[in-house]
Amino acid sequence: MHASRTFEDLVQLVKILRVECPWDRKQTHESIKDNLVEEVYEALEALENDDFEEFKKELGDLLLHVVFHSVMASESTRFTIEDVIETLMEKLIRRHPHVFGDKVIHSEEEVSENWEMIKKKEGKKSTLDGLPKPMPALIRAQRMQEKAANVGFDWPEWEQAWEKVEEETQEFKETLASGSAKDRAEEFGDLLFSMVNMGRFFDLHAEDSLRLTNTKFERRFRYIEQQAEKENRPLNDLSLEEMDRHWEAAKKAL
């Protein structure tokens, strides 16, 4: 078999692997579910690095998981890849009546509002349905706030959101002095939630922003480690003042 550019050939390739490769034949939905999550993050990393050659490869890995799970499902007559495609297309057509029907919509905000109304008609019990609890908490917080905002539950201006941040900051500070561990955790969560909401008013995504800061911290901390290595000293042999000096140097150099 040779590589091609057709979706049908990819599906056939996966079917062959399921028969002829001992490793592929052994896999189940459960055994590779974590790999699916891993591939999503690898695709995100490539995108953030502006590495579109790598991004192309990672999207291929994601596509492989979609096909692989679908082929396994077809083996137990649960559904096929064609069922997956048809279900997706039906949903997209149904949720875009302004494109495929006679609904008139004039703005992105109206699209979001109408999307939520359609989902409720499809049997969703809550506007917040469809947000799995295992999602990263910052992403889930942002999506919950966006969904609530789509139906009008939102501050009118960012200044009110900022007042909420200040209020939650003070409450968290008070629990540090006299609160229980549970109180501190709850108030810390409230503060984080309010910060996510504040950023949303300026189209800031909490997960993306924190990921940028994580990358920046890692880059600067590795610089400290490199300087300690150049001095032939264990890292924990450096004083806090020395580490801070290297940190400031990293801020200028990196």
Q: How far apart are CA 49 and CA 56, in angstroms?
A: 13
Residue 129: predicted pLDDT: 85
Could you give the CA distance from residue 136 to residue 37 in angstroms, rounded to a whole number?
11
Q: Is 15 exposed, middle or buried (0-12, 13-18, 19+ CB in 10 A)?
A: middle
CA pair distance 7, 85, nearest whole angstrom = 12
- pLDDT tens digits for 149-182? 988 899 999 999 999 999 999 999 999 988 899 9
Q: Cα separations (Å) of 219 from 212, 232, 233, 252? A: 11, 20, 19, 12
pLDDT in tens, 89-143: 999 999 898 888 888 888 887 887 787 778 777 777 788 888 888 888 999 999 9
3-state secondary structure of 20: helix
Token readout for 38 is 């891993």
Q: Which residues are CB-neighbours of 84 under 8 A, at least 6 positions away?
A: 66, 70
Q: How far apart are CA 154 and CA 164, in angstroms?
A: 12
217 CB-contact burial (10 Å; exposed 0-12 / middle 13-18 / buried 19+): exposed
Task: Answer yes or no: is pLDDT of 63 > 80.
Answer: yes
- Cα torsion 115, 121, 127, 133 to 10°: value is -100
Full-prediction pTM beyond 0.75?
no
Which parts of 33-80 fold into alpha helices (H)?
33-48, 52-75
Are 228 and 235 contacting, i.e. CB atoms less than 8 angstroms apart?
A: yes
Query: Angle at Cα 79 formed by Cα 56 and Cα 13, nearest 5°?
Result: 45
Q: Above 80 in pLDDT, residue 144?
A: yes
Read off the tokens for 204.
């800031």
At residue 179, the pLDDT reads 85
